[in-house]
Structure 1
Amino acid sequence: MADSFANEPTPLRRSGLRRRRGLALAAVIALGVSIAQTPIAAAADTPVFRPVGAAPAVPNGAVRLTEPQADQPVRLNVELAPRDPAALQAFVTAVSTPDSPQYHQYLQKGQFAAVFGPTRTTIDAVTTALEAQGLNPGAASPDGLSIPVDTTFGNAARALRVGFAGYRLTDGRTTYANTNAPELPSSVAGVVTGILGLNDFTKPVAQHTPGTRTVAAPKGSVQPHAAQPNVATPSFCSDIKNLLSSNGLTDTQDYWEPSTLSASYAYNTAPLYNQYGNTGSGVSVGLFELENYSPDDIAAYESCFGLRTSVSATKVDGGPTLPPDMNTQVGLESALDIQTVAGLAPGVGIKVYQGPDNANSTQYLDVYRRIVNDDAVQVISTSWGLCETNAQAWDPALLSTEANLFAMAAAQGQTVVAASGDSGSTGCYPVGPDNSSLVVDDPAAQPNVTAVGGTRMTLPSGGSSVVQSTWNTPGEQPGASGGGVSQYQKLSGAGNFQSGVQGAGYSNVCAAAAGTTCRQVPDVSALADPGTGYLTAFGEDTNSQYWTIIGGTSGAAPLWAAIMALTDASGSCAGNGAVGMVNPALYQHANLLTDVTAGNNILDGSGYTGNLYSAGSGYDLTTGLGTPKAPALVEALCSAKAASVGSSFTPVTPARVLDTRSAGPIGAGGTLKLPVTGANGVPSSGVTAVVLNVTATESTDGGFLTLYPDGQPRPASSNLNFVAGQTIPNLVTIPVGSDGAVDIYNRFGTVQVIADIFGYFTNDGTGYRFHTSTPQRLLDTRNGQGVTSGQATPVGTGGVFALPLTDTAGPGNTGPLAGAAALMLNVTATESTDGGFLTVYPSNVARPASSNLNYVAGQTIPNAVVTPVNGSAIDFYNRFGTVQIIADLFGYYSAN
């Protein structure tokens, strides 16, 4: 019975709704409560330790040196799992897929932590565990996914039970690394995905080629051009054009400048400027960089093309210190990125996020974390990366940390584009040990990133149509379009935007299970060949400003970023929302890209002797779907709308369907089968998914629960994470198996599980559709909001608080949420004087024997709640003590 929850340990904080793939259920739950949280009880005096992650592999050829000095400072980031990784990715799929009812219903700025980030109690538990080991952790990042720790190697070794060693790598760098996996108390180890900063093997590199041809323009010889009207394509200054011509360099043959690039049939962005006045105004592009840039280079470029594009810099972790330099090429990548975006989308705002020179993995990821948490740009472009096998081997926490950050970006509606690499099908070339193996680059291979490959593009003399082929330059400085099959990233279910798409040469190198495929790279492509590359202002001395022609997929990525910015700025997207994680839409509109069918990406000199990969008709592993055709692609991406059909929801009177405390807990690695159809108001057939409020309690170890359809393979994800001894609830939407059952898997220790059912989904159209609403507070008993005369607050033992449903967000806005069948609420209990629980239910029905959230005295805990509406009020029942209640409305279900 529900009453047995009265004296449970402190639950984890909960404020997010779980949404499974393909279901029209909102997951936009924000917590608007600014009150202190009570940490969980301290772990045992002699905790059991468990490894977190793995030790890094030592790069081939590394020479072992002495370990770092014990008093030498080191910065660590303790990375935490989202509270429900499966629900996070399901939400990303829902808001990114054009045929989803939730298409473009992104999280609002600052909502991620409350909806998908680790709970406050989880963060506090990990912080307390670190402190107990003698470390001094800082405040968690805004997303809640990372806890910084500034310490020394000696303290880190003792606290995390690791050894350290120094190494000299074959590239001459002196590095360090942990010699074994770090260990944490088992009570929190299950919620920690890895610890960054224990080694510095990884070194991301820019994916550009060296400047191939450079000319010097005497300072003062170039006359500034007036800024062009917003409806005009940027115009190339004759001074530089003539200078290039005198050096035998011709536009469209040896290089492409913005006006010819935008006017070419290949991209054809010019009509966006000239016919629609779209220059990207109102949209911001964020550039990921690990170097400084020269403002003089940017000024020279803007002066030549008559631009006034706003460019600003944000330094992360202190930022870079080395000045731009032609000889070392510091600043070349930044110049290329800034100028490519400005030239093709002159009205955008460009925000350059700069990490330290020679950044380690901690600093590298801190830059992405800052960009995503700032949420100040709609498009993110990165031309830096490393081959994914080295990333995984040298820093086992890197790929998973990136994945969480890019999922957060997608959930917020940010588009991320990344260069696919310049080493063809052998992504680790020239850095060993797998420099002749088929490998793709990271972060391009991340599923929530759009990977951009490279092409060669020329305009034949006297011709009107460009000729495109796969970029592949042999010689002393070879380069080719990065592409292939990921060994680590997989796509499955509704989130598999590459379903039915298989490039020639594909193989199951990621060991994908049935119904799952390995991520293929690239998705799209653009100009990258330095032989027909980008004209860039880079480098100066006392007398001259230099202009150089460069290439690489690091030019192709910002080109796509510019086109995505133009897309977001278009009139259609203004009404339907930013394109966000654009991969599903791109694969649906492959006909609006130019299919590149010639060439291969077998890199000259790599040592690879096979024949993979070649371009061909349709998707391929050299140029992906092809190059963009604007404005048709822009219009198609913006005109896609959320589907009006799909799963519909039917609420039921809440009922308890599982309580293992009467029969015994689920053991470590154990699975419990739970039939959910054919009872409690749920039909025996036609049900696609059910909504359960699942609570874990009396756990003997830190771990997680995974819910999945019975009869299907268990996914590598979790629905509910907990530490030892906690009680934590979570509202879960889970598909049912063909037999009407779901399975519940427990990873570590033993745990008691309670489940209450609140509704079900069908595809027959008989249920209700979800409608989002602007978040609004309906009730706060602390200050009287929603409290009518004569109602007692706080709510006492056995008390029932009736909340009238005065409508401000429901269908028709004509009274008590007319037509609403159920409400989506975030309910918070706080200032409780005793352990107990809340039950939320319609005011005109008997109180159900279930609970929505459980708490101990003094705790503040929120949870997502779906409650049916059968009248003009809903009731909040409190079992023990007194408690203050806060309720926020985020949406409702109705037939309209």
Structure 2
Amino acid sequence: MLDPHWSRRTSARMVGCWLMVSFVAAASIIVSDHPVEQASETTATIDGPYANLLASATDLGPSRFDHAQLTVGLRESARPDRLLQWAASKSLAVRWKAGEEWAIVEGAPPDVAEAFDVPVHDYRGMQGQVFYASSQQPEVPAAVRSTVTDLGRILGYTPHREALPDFIPLDVPRQGLTPSALLTAYNASPLAAQGITGKGQTIVFFAFSGFDQGDLDDFAQMSGLPPLKPVVVGGQPSESRAETVMDLEVAHAIAPDARMVVINARPTLEGGRTYERIAEMFDQADQQFPGAVWSLSIGWGCDALITATDLKPVQSALERAHRNGTSAFDASGDTGGLECKGGPRWSSPPGPDDVGLDAISSLPGMTSVGGTTLSTDADGQWLAEQAWIDSPLSQGTSGGVSKLFPRPAWQRRLIVERDPGKRERRLTPDVSALADPFTGIKIRFDQQDLVGAGTSQAAPIWAGLTALMNQYLLTNGGQRLGDINPLLYRVAAGANSPGFRDVTLGGNAVDVAIPGYDMVTGLGSPNVEQLARDFLDIQKGMAPR
């Protein structure tokens, strides 16, 4: 059975220390002896990881929360009058913003249950968290089918994941890659030689944990870099943890003159409306830091727990940020393709229900970043890369076929054996970078010299490199990259210079790396100087078609 509390982003070689976190809804729960409602013949019982989540929890009977809600998809962005009228007749409320093709329907759980003809119960999870959920997926009521296209889950709980790694610094020769070696490995040194250091660019990190400024000061000093003093939005999320510290230091190693911003993502876990709050957080970041590069190394649950409708607020906010020039990178995960399997139960044999993607990382507007093992010479010159996997520790780069999203136009040329519809579903990751703790980047955490790793290292690598490429483009008459996925796949299909290094060795628990695109390392790792020139050629109309 799925335990929804697991650590997703492994930032170094771990020795079995998983952080388990949970969200406990703020409500008074009364255990009831009410009989269990019968499922409607028009609804379907939800199976897979969602069913495992409920099966691993204690059913407390019909919900006594103050409210329950679900997201609904709309046929158009006009005011949904029919939905508003129907909801009022059912004692429900609707929250809708002008121009959006989604809305939130909410009300007392008994009213939600009656209106959508499904049971809504309270559950107590294995870690003591209490939440409401329906074991049934409702259908769109007949009265609103002319307005509503699809429905999200009735689920008041969102798993969230963050790494709490144990670093083993002696695992890596020479104590990890230095900033100059990292730039050399991914051929970004030619940009640095031109004075491209991220100046004028902003990188935003969304984090569940905070940082110790002393670690950042030490890192900048020992690396010979400018001071690293992030802007914090929403207050320090919590005590200093390796995840946020590593993200900041890795990006600073690449783009030392970029402004670094840490946004507290913990409020997204409050009140049972996580995906709506994520959208609000993204909108706030876009308004405060338009055109910034985003980096995410945290997770809000696997794609099998929700529907695409649940993510419509997030995708909508991401598209607005793209229009202002933002590129967004999210770690694909460190569970070897089994993102729906819980860390505390990792020793159990994997099954079909464990195969899945991180939901936010799989958004078509998000660039999903996988992980590699990197080999360099003594000067940092690239020698080889292969997919990152550590079977004894059940770690490795994640990726696969989306359960939620259709194949974007920019992926339609790809053919993979595991997409049963052939060219029908979104594939991840899109790209990859260094993740193996044996070949990681030298960082400073808890007053120690350590080595970072995991796909949560790979995402800020791409964020930092993109800040450099944005500066390069602006310096040479181009513009910020914005929605970068279509551009990445265009370069891979044919460009004036080879912008990627294809990764053809290794694999994870589900897939193997092959020539060309694969669901372990995506298009490959970046050859930055050439990739930047390819992007400029595209923007100036000089790229091959």
- How many pairs were matched up? 486
- For residues 439-450 of structure 1, the aligned pairs below 5 Å read 439-450=356-367
- For residues 369-384 of structure 1, the aligned pairs below 5 Å read 369-372=280-283, 374-375=285-286, 376-378=289-291, 379-384=293-298
Read off the aligned partner of 2:517 and give its amino acid letter: Y
- For residues 280-319 of structure 1, the aligned pairs below 5 Å read 280-305=198-223, 306-309=225-228, 311-315=230-234
Give 1:260's match in structure 2, choosing from 155, 169, 181: 181
Distance 1:74 1:546 in 2: 47
Kindly tell me: are residues 147 and 549 of structure 1, through their superposed partners in 2, closer, same or farther at Cα, counting changes over 3 Å?
Answer: same
Query: Is the counterpart of residue 391 in structure 1 residue 305 in structure 2?
Result: yes
Q: Any idea what SS the aligned residue of 1:589 has?
A: helix
Task: Name the structure 2 match of 1:425.
Answer: 337
- For residues 74-473 of structure 1, the aligned pairs below 5 Å read 74=67, 76=69, 78-81=71-74, 83=76, 118-119=77-78, 121-122=79-80, 126-127=83-84, 129-135=86-92, 137=94, 140-141=96-97, 144=100, 147=103, 152-154=108-110, 156-157=112-113, 162-169=118-125, 173-181=129-137, 186=142, 188=144, 190-192=146-148, 198-206=154-162, 208=163, 210-213=165-168, 250-251=173-174, 254-262=175-183, 264=184, 266-275=185-194, 277-305=195-223, 306-309=225-228, 311-315=230-234, 323-324=238-239, 331-356=241-266, 359=269, 362-372=273-283, 374-375=285-286, 376-378=289-291, 379-385=293-299, 388-392=302-306, 397-430=309-342, 435-437=350-352, 438-461=355-378, 464-473=381-390
Kindly tell me: are residues 502 and 146 of structure 1, through their superposed partners in 2, closer, same or farther at Cα, counting changes over 3 Å?
Answer: closer
Distance 1:627 1:200 in 2: 38
Q: State the shift of 1:177 in Å.
A: 0.5
Read off the aligned partner of 1:579 and give its amino acid letter: L
Kindly tell me: are residues 471 and 406 of structure 1, through their superposed partners in 2, closer, same or farther at Cα, counting changes over 3 Å?
Answer: same
Q: Any idea what SS the aligned residue of 1:200 has?
A: coil
Give 1:497's match in structure 2, choosing from 383, 388, 410: 410
Q: Which ranges of structure 2 fall in alignment gaps of 5 or more residues?
A: 1-40, 493-497
Query: Is the counterpart of residue 64 in structure 1 residue 58 in structure 2?
Result: yes
Distance 1:341 1:193 in 2: 41
Q: State the shift of 1:524 in Å.
A: 1.2
- For residues 759-838 of structure 1, the aligned pairs below 5 Å read none
Distance 2:508 2:112 in 1: 44
8 Å CA contact retained: 1:482, 1:622: yes
Q: State the shift of 1:184 in Å.
A: 7.3
Distance 1:553 1:644 in 2: 33
Relative to its length, the structure with more strand (as a share) is: 1
Kindly tell me: are residues 597 and 381 of structure 1, through their superposed partners in 2, closer, same or farther at Cα, counting changes over 3 Å?
Answer: same
Kindly tell me: are residues 339 and 154 of structure 1, through their superposed partners in 2, closer, same or farther at Cα, counting changes over 3 Å?
Answer: farther
Give 1:526's match in structure 2, choosing from 415, 433, 436: 433
Q: State the shift of 1:623 in Å.
A: 1.4
Read off the aligned partner of 2:341 and give its amino acid letter: Y
Read off the aligned partner of 1:202 and give its amino acid letter: T
Task: Name the structure 2 match of 1:621.
Answer: 519
Q: Which ranges of structure 1 fall in alignment gaps of 5 or more residues?
A: 1-49, 84-117, 215-246, 326-330, 540-544, 603-611, 646-896
Distance 2:283 2:451 in 1: 32
Q: State the shift of 1:462 in Å.
A: 7.5
Question: Aligned Cα RMSD in Å?
Answer: 3.9
Task: Name the structure 1 match of 2:464.
Answer: 562
Q: Deviations over 1:568-622 (max 9, x none)?
A: 22245763322122222222323221122222223xxxxxxxxx52223322222
Q: Deviations over 1:367-417 (max 9, x none)?
A: 24431465234322222236745233xx56334544444444445543222
- For residues 424-823 of structure 1, the aligned pairs below 5 Å read 424-430=336-342, 435-437=350-352, 438-461=355-378, 464-475=381-392, 477-491=393-407, 496-503=409-416, 506-509=417-420, 511=421, 516-539=423-446, 545-572=447-474, 575-590=477-492, 591-602=498-509, 612-641=510-539
Q: Any idea what SS the aligned residue of 1:351 has?
A: strand
8 Å CA contact retained: 2:432, 2:458: yes
Read off the aligned partner of 1:416 and give its amino acid letter: A
Q: Deviations over 1:606-652 (max 9, x none)?
A: xxxxxx5222332222212211112121121123137699xxxxxxx
Read off the aligned partner of 1:550 and give its amino acid letter: G
8 Å CA contact retained: 1:415, 1:581: yes
Q: State the shift of 1:65 in Å.
A: 2.3
Q: Any idea what SS the aligned residue of 1:59 has?
A: helix
State percent identity of aligned pairs.
24
Read off the aligned partner of 1:167 and give its amino acid letter: Y
Q: Any idea what SS the aligned residue of 1:457 has?
A: strand
Read off the aligned partner of 2:456 and give its amino acid letter: S
Once the two structures are overlaid, the 10-residue window that deviates more, 191-200 or 618-627, is 191-200
Kindly tell me: are residues 308 and 188 of structure 1, through their superposed partners in 2, closer, same or farther at Cα, counting changes over 3 Å?
Answer: farther
Read off the aligned partner of 1:473 and give its amino acid letter: D
Distance 2:349 2:135 in 1: 22
Read off the aligned partner of 2:243 and give its amino acid letter: E
Distance 1:570 1:75 in 2: 48
Distance 1:53 1:428 in 2: 21
Query: Is the counterpart of residue 73 in structure 1 residue 28 in structure 2?
Result: no
Q: Deviations over 1:640-693 (max 9, x none)?
A: 137699xxxxxxxxxxxxxxxxxxxxxxxxxxxxxxxxxxxxxxxxxxxxxxxx
Kindly tell me: are residues 351 and 194 of structure 1, through their superposed partners in 2, closer, same or farther at Cα, counting changes over 3 Å?
Answer: farther
Distance 1:405 1:76 in 2: 20
TM-score, structure 2 length as denominator? Answer: 0.76
TM-score, structure 1 length as denominator? Answer: 0.48
Kindly tell me: are residues 343 and 146 of structure 1, through their superposed partners in 2, closer, same or farther at Cα, counting changes over 3 Å?
Answer: farther
Task: Name the structure 2 match of 1:242.
Answer: none
The structure with the largest alpha-carbon Rg is 1
Q: State the shift of 1:149 in Å.
A: 6.9
Q: State the shift of 1:496 in Å.
A: 2.5
Q: State the shift of 1:525 in Å.
A: 0.7
Q: State the shift of 1:185 in Å.
A: 6.4
Q: State the shift of 1:295 in Å.
A: 4.2
Kindly tell me: are residues 320 and 366 of structure 1, through their superposed partners in 2, closer, same or farther at Cα, counting changes over 3 Å?
Answer: farther
Distance 2:171 2:437 in 1: 16
Kindly tell me: are residues 428 and 126 of structure 1, through their superposed partners in 2, closer, same or farther at Cα, counting changes over 3 Å?
Answer: same
Read off the aligned partner of 1:629 and give its amino acid letter: N
- For residues 37-48 of structure 1, the aligned pairs below 5 Å read none
> RCO greater where, 1 or 2, for CA within 8 Å and sep 6 or more?
2
Read off the aligned partner of 2:385 and give its amino acid letter: Q
Kindly tell me: are residues 69 and 285 of structure 1, through their superposed partners in 2, closer, same or farther at Cα, counting changes over 3 Å?
Answer: same
Distance 2:401 2:242 in 1: 29
Q: Any idea what SS the aligned residue of 1:519 has?
A: strand
Read off the aligned partner of 2:206 and give its amino acid letter: F
Q: State the shift of 1:135 in Å.
A: 4.0
Q: State the shift of 1:280 in Å.
A: 1.8
